[in-house]
Amino acid sequence: MVNCPHDDKAECCGNCPYPVVLIATHHRLKITCKNIESLLNQTLVPKIVVVTSDQDEAIYFAETYGIESLYHKNEPLGAKWQYGVRDANPLIILGSDDILAPDYVEQVCRKIKEGFDFIGTTAWYSYDEYRNRVYDTCYINKNQDFPIGSGRAYSSVLLNKMKFKLFDTSLGKKLDDFGYYSAIKQSAKTFIIRSPEILAVKGDWAQMNPMHKYLTSKNIQVQNADLDVLKKFDYVPD
């Protein structure tokens, strides 16, 4: 059980926020640095844990930002993510090229205080750096209630019920399914955010979900959005 942030000899009662954001990254130094810097400017600053498959990057993140930075090989990806799972209230999962709205951590902590154990979102903005275009993106059809991987938050109570097992360590893809369905099996009280509070940046690095997949998916709705959306996330393209 995570220790109380006010009394390190007591166990957390689940009411006080102790947010931790977990990021896994691979050959994405520039965008990961922007991500970390945006987290350090959140209205409620979380502890940050980064897992990277580059030992030099791990040293760089730790020395530059004073965060917990770990090295783990990139495959299987599920094992890499699981390696960074920590005690938290809540633990927030975040892709290295996904930027949270400046008050997202605070939003999630409010929901944790209200008694929710799992928070997720089904909508997000996508920024295509190649074409300098922003899209309003959301799940529809069979995926309309399925939370995306980034932005998922697990309370300390739920983490303990799940025995901190959020990822299938044998898998390299479809990692979002395991954590969500494991939370559902524990009858987690769930809150789904329908508004886009995450900015997925598509740039010059390896991408698990490139923009063309969004544009051709039957279960994702994509609409043009104004470039001013970037200001909401304090994101300044290079």
Quote the pLDDT of residue 17.
Answer: 85
% of the chain exceeding 70 in pLDDT: 94
Quote the pLDDT of residue 171.
Answer: 83
Instruction: State the Cα–Cα distance between residues 64 and 80, nearest whole angstrom.
Output: 22
Mean pLDDT score, 207-225: 88
Tell me: pLDDT of 168 over 80: yes
For 93-126, how does the pLDDT look when each residue is reduced to its tens digit (9 = 90+)? 999 999 999 999 999 999 999 999 999 999 999 9
For 24-42, how does the pLDDT look when each residue is reduced to its tens digit (9 = 90+)? 999 999 999 999 999 999 9
Domain 20-120+147-199: which CATH class?
Answer: alpha beta
Of residues 127 and 9, more confidently modeled: 127
- Closest Cα to residue 219, out of 167, 148, 126, 149? 148
Of residues 86 and 177, more confidently modeled: 86
% of the chain exceeding 90 in pLDDT: 83
Quote the pLDDT of residue 116.
Answer: 97
For 54-83, how does the pLDDT look when each residue is reduced to its tens digit (9 = 90+)? 999 999 999 999 999 999 999 999 999 999
Tell me: pLDDT of 202 over 80: yes
pTM value?
A: 0.92
Q: How confident is the model at residue 10 (pLDDT cuts 50, 70, 90)?
A: low
Quote the pLDDT of residue 61.
Answer: 98
- Closest Cα to residue 154, out of 122, 182, 123, 173? 182
Q: How confident is the model at residue 8 (pLDDT cuts 50, 70, 90)?
A: low
For 149-167, how does the pLDDT look when each residue is reduced to its tens digit (9 = 90+)? 999 999 999 999 999 999 9
Instruction: State the Cα–Cα distance between residues 178 and 118, nearest whole angstrom.
Output: 14
What spatial distance separates the first Cα and last Cα of the chain, rounded to whole Å?
Answer: 42
Quote the pLDDT of residue 12.
Answer: 56
Do 51 and 24 contact (CB within 8 A), yes or no? yes
Tell me: pLDDT of 2 over 60: no
Do 219 and 140 contact (CB within 8 A), yes or no? yes
- Which H helix or E strand runs over 109? helix 104-113
